[in-house]
């Protein structure tokens, strides 16, 4: 039941702005929007509005702010944080119909897109001319560039290319004051505060992003993808640090442990050796000569660090299959567990072997199985803690294990979220990383854009208050079957 009272005249006014087909107000229809992909957190909006232009967004935001009603921006709803959902009800603004690529300027290597453009769609548009949009969350076939900017999405290739913040040159925002701002822009060097950087990763708490100017990246001349197998995930993790310590930054450096390999081979048949206890998927790209030298160095390092085998994909087809295994790993995982809790945390890369041992110890002490598929090069873990919801006590054990893993990551100098963001799920954890003054400064920044705290309330800062309070739930909730991260 929504805590917000929406007056019928507000709904009528919204219809006048976006047309009848742009307003969803029937409670059953609004149910579709009650959660993101972290289905544990639910909050049905009272009304969903689907504008087609920035002028419509501006008019909608102003009407809703005047009515004192919360606003929740939404892209494709693939978030894993309890972000694009409405805990207090209110008006959700879905930007999916704003899906035009407005400008592609290859001479200056940028594009300007509306927020509903799908991530992979932009790469598909420019790849024939040798360019790509580098942020590649595994959800890239579905997630929107506005959502990627709002969450500062990462992905396997963030290791070399950085996350979304490194690829957003500027953006247009309708703020929680009802103003329309352009922050940054296609020309890279700009004096003054980096307000684009403030908005990227702000998860809809400052306003609705209505345009994004993004960098386009030139594809490397050559690419090599290798699969190395190891006797344990700890040994594989040592190889990760050794590769980077050698001065090599692979385009991607991903790790999977034995339960994941088993699941992948049962479902996808990506060609991962089923007798391996761990694999590293290592991708190198760049000038052909450099890739060649680095590939030799990586093979030597892996061998010295105890690799049992190393295979380089012979062609694009084999390479695509190796990646399919990685990208669909968590989905395949549904074959070997009924449910799982997904955690997203980061440790310093050099701590990977230690944290992997701790994860296994935590799994044992909590009586659960934990499988690992993660962005090893970034130290970004995604432990999947298995349980069966039909067995009493298993869910609680999985949650407790998830919390213990997060605590262990923080204890070794890590942080509470790698790429998924804060949302409702991790809001209470921020106080473990930042002191009261830091948090108050963040809250003050928020008020500049959203003085009434109506933009995406209860996200990032619990209850939208100036000083974060401790809310009621823990981190890393169950994800739906069949998804991958
Ligand atoms: C299968 C799967 C794999 C994933 N893999 C990755 C991964 O590899 N890396 C990664 O980082 N994430 C990953 N994610 C999480 C998710 O896809 C990303 O966070 C993505 O950036 C969300 O985009 P979206 O369009 O779905 O946004 P939504 O889920 O709709 O929204 C996410 C947040 O952004 C806000 N928001 C959305 N659009 C706007 C806008 N126009 N203006 C202002 N605020 C807005 C919302 O209010 C919400 O707080 C994965 C998710 C799934 C389901």
pLDDT mean over 164-170: 97
> Measured from the CB, is residue 143 less than 6 Å from ligand 1?
yes
pLDDT mean over 259-283: 93
User: Tokens 């699941």, residue?
Assistant: 263
pLDDT mean over 46-51: 98
**Closest listed residue to residue 10, CA positions, set 87, 66, 54, 58:** 66
| pLDDT tens-digit readout, 407-450 | 999 999 999 888 999 999 989 888 888 888 999 999 999 999 99
Asked if 364 and 404 count as a contact pair (C-beta separation under 8 A), the reply is no
For ligand 1, the distance from its centroid to the CA atom of residue 146, given in whole angstroms, is 8
> Measured from the CB, is residue 119 less than 6 Å from ligand 1?
no
* Of 64-68, 366-370, 468-472, minimum mean pLDDT range: 468-472
> Measured from the CB, is residue 418 less than 6 Å from ligand 1?
no
> Measured from the CB, is residue 485 less than 6 Å from ligand 1?
yes
For ligand 1, the distance from its centroid to the CA atom of residue 173, given in whole angstroms, is 17
Q: 466 pLDDT exceeds 90?
A: no
For ligand 1, the distance from its centroid to the CA atom of residue 5, given in whole angstroms, is 28
- Per-chain mean pLDDT for the chain: 91
| pLDDT tens-digit readout, 178-207 | 999 999 988 777 788 999 999 999 999 999
Three-state secondary structure call for residue 414: coil
Q: Which atom of ligand 1 is nearest to the CA of 136?
A: 8
Local confidence band at 463 (pLDDT 50, 70, 90 cut-offs): low
For ligand 1, the distance from its centroid to the CA atom of residue 205, given in whole angstroms, is 14
> Measured from the CB, is residue 147 less than 6 Å from ligand 1?
yes
pLDDT, position 333: 81
> Measured from the CB, is residue 78 less than 6 Å from ligand 1?
yes
DSSP states along 201-261: T-TTSSEEEEEEEEE-EEPPSEEEEEEEEES-HHHHHHHHHHHHHTT---SEEEEEEHHHH
For residues 51, 120, 165 and 438, what is the CA-based torsion angle, rounded to 10 degrees? 70
**Closest listed residue to residue 341, CA positions, set 479, 139, 483, 482:** 479
Closest Cα to atom 11, ligand 1: which residue?
153
pLDDT, position 462: 61
> Measured from the CB, is residue 154 less than 6 Å from ligand 1?
yes
For ligand 1, the distance from its centroid to the CA atom of residue 406, given in whole angstroms, is 21
Phi and psi at 477, nearest 5°, equal: -90, 170
For ligand 1, the distance from its centroid to the CA atom of residue 153, given in whole angstroms, is 7
């Amino acid at each position: 039941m929504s805590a917000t009272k929406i007056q019928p005249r507000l709904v009528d006014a919204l219809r006048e702005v976006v047309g009848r087909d742009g307003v969803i107000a029937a409670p059953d229809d609004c149910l579709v929007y009650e959660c993101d992909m972290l289905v544990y957190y639910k909050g049905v909006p009272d009304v969903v509005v689907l504008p087609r232009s920035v002028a419509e967004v501006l008019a909608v935001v102003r009407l809703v702010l005047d009515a004192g009603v919360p606003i929740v921006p939404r892209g494709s709803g693939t978030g894993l944080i309890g972000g694009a959902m409405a805990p207090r009800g209110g008006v959700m603004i879905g930007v999916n119909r704003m899906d035009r690529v407005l400008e592609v300027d290859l001479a200056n290597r940028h594009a300007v897109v509306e927020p509903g453009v799908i991530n992979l769609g932009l790469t598909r548009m420019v790849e024939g001319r040798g360019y790509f949009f580098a942020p590649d969350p595994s959800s890239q076939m579905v997630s929107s560039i506005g959502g990627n900017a709002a969450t500062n999405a990462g992905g396997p290739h963030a290791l070399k290319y950085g996350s979304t913040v490194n690829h957003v040159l500027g953006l247009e925002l309708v703020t929680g004051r009802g103003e329309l701002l352009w922050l940054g822009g296609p020309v890279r060097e700009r004096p003054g505060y980096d307000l684009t950087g403030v908005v990227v990763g702000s998860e809809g708490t400052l306003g609705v992003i209505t345009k994004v100017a993004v960098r386009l990246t030139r594809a490397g001349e050559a690419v090599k993808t290798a699969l190395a197998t190891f006797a344990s995930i700890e040994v594989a993790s040592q190889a990760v640090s050794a590769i980077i310590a050698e001065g090599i930054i692979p385009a991607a450096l991903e790790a999977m442990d034995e339960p994941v390999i088993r699941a992948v081979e049962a479902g996808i048949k990506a060609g991962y050796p089923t007798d391996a206890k761990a694999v590293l998927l290592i991708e190198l790209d760049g000038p052909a000569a450099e890739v060649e030298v680095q590939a030799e160095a990586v093979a030597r390092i892996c061998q010295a660090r105890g690799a049992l085998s190393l295979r380089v994909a012979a062609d694009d087809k084999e390479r695509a299959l190796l990646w399919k295994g990685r990208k669909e790993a968590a989905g395949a995982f549904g074959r070997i567990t009924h449910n799982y809790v997904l955690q997203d945390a980061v440790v310093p890369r050099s701590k990977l072997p230690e944290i992997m041992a701790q994860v296994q110890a935590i799994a044992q002490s909590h009586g659960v199985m934990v499988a690992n598929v993660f962005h090893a090069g970034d130290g970004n873990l995604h432990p999947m803690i298995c349980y069966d919801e039909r067995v009493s006590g298993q869910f609680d054990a999985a949650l407790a294990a998830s919390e213990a893993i997060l605590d262990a990551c923080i204890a070794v100098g890590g942080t509470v979220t790698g790429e998924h963001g804060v949302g409702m799920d991790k809001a209470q954890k921020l106080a473990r990383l930042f002191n009261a003054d830091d948090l108050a400064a963040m809250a003050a920044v928020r008020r500049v854009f959203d003085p009434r705290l109506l933009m995406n309330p209860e996200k990032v800062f619990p209850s939208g208050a100036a000083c974060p309070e401790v809310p009621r739930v823990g981190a890393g909730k169950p994800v739906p079957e069949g998804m991958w991260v």
